[in-house]
Structure 1
Amino acid sequence: MVRKSINLCIALCLSIVLILPVGGLASASGSLSTDTIVTEENVNQVIEYLGLDPEDLKKTDATFSDESVTVTVGELEQALNQLKQAPKEVTSTENLNRIAPRAASDFCTGLKMLYYTTNLGGSFELSYEVAANYSWNKFTSVNNATVSVIDNDDNLFTTFTIASKDVGAKVTSSGEKIELNATVKVDSWISIGNMGLIKVTTTTVRTTKEWTTVQAGIPGCI
């Protein structure tokens, strides 16, 4: 009976000795937590932990000018959740126009710059610019229509780029209006410190906007 007890104790001790190193190695191998700092050595593990594919990491120039800035897993999780909440499609038809002030040197024929910034209520906005020609109280043609993306979420770990754009403007209502129509696809990216970017989602923004000659401040020539 005593011998059996001794053998049992030896077996238990051996089991403990065998198990402990394995557990220690697993812990030392880099189990991730929200406080884990992202490094070149664990970046692939971090990306997989976030549910992303390491092969999607796009190498770029240093994201942060200060190389001493550290990035934790928790910060990336927060940024990723924010990007995932972005809608897939947005339509903007709000009448939020910013018109260049009329100068004393305005003539009855000239060029008027028209501006519109979307109010999407998310992490980014789109800023449109239209160059319109006018003559004697009427719009006559459109020179150019452009768009740029504005990052307005103040998050160091997110960035936004325009993937594709179809932006056009035309004169309507016999010269009384300029009409803007645009479809823009915006890619949302998460920054993995200074190691690169991974695209998280794409949002399609459809925008329509009109300016009248009065809104645009066209000179009231007779």
Structure 2
Amino acid sequence: MSKTILVTGAGRGLGRTLAERLSARGDTVIAHARSESALAGVPHAKALVADLAEPGTLADAVAAAGVERLDALVHNAGVLNVNSVEDETLEWWQRTLAVNVVAVAELTRLLLPALRAARGHVVFLNSGAGLNAAPKLASYAASKHALKAIADALRAEERGNGLRVTSLYPSHFDTDMQRGLRDQYDSDYDPARAMSPESVAAQITAVLDAPADMVVNDLRSEPPNPLPISPKS
């Protein structure tokens, strides 16, 4: 049976790959991006256009999309900046927490009636940084630790309503964010030693397809031989 699934950050990278995969198998995809133009070429039935850096705009965007029943919400969008606690700017702290935490909580809140109607599934794309904070990733890691807290609280609160909640912790997969992170660390990068977006999208799809009598609460994954993040020699 086909599902209605909202994917945030669907304009590129993993979000785009996931939207393509879900659409190809017959699911109805609601694709989120900051602009309509960002969704050019992305298969989708509806668009949710909103800037997650401005969580206050989400209520109008959700109302405009007219989502009454939602089988799954995949929180994929996120931002990252590499900087020490000493040097990280207030602007980046505010942007990171707005996009990675506040917007996620607000979008989930707004879509809860539609998710409850379908006894749906909320998937949070977390990170290894959501479990262990590395040097120069304080703002990003803090946001991902907060994301874990949102997922854990939501799971406990919504069990009685039939909602399933999953946190995924994929590490080292080939995206613009991973490349940008390596650039900011001045570190080598080898996509052959990273997971592909297709592999991570397949993992998400498998989690969404779990039998109705089970849920995957937390799942970690990484490539067999990831390239460490270290300065170029």
TM-score w.r.t. length of structure 2: 0.23
TM-score w.r.t. length of structure 1: 0.23
Greater relative CO, 1 or 2 (CA 8 Å, sep 6+): 1
Larger radius of gyration between Structure 1 and Structure 2 = 1
Say which structure is richer in strand. 1
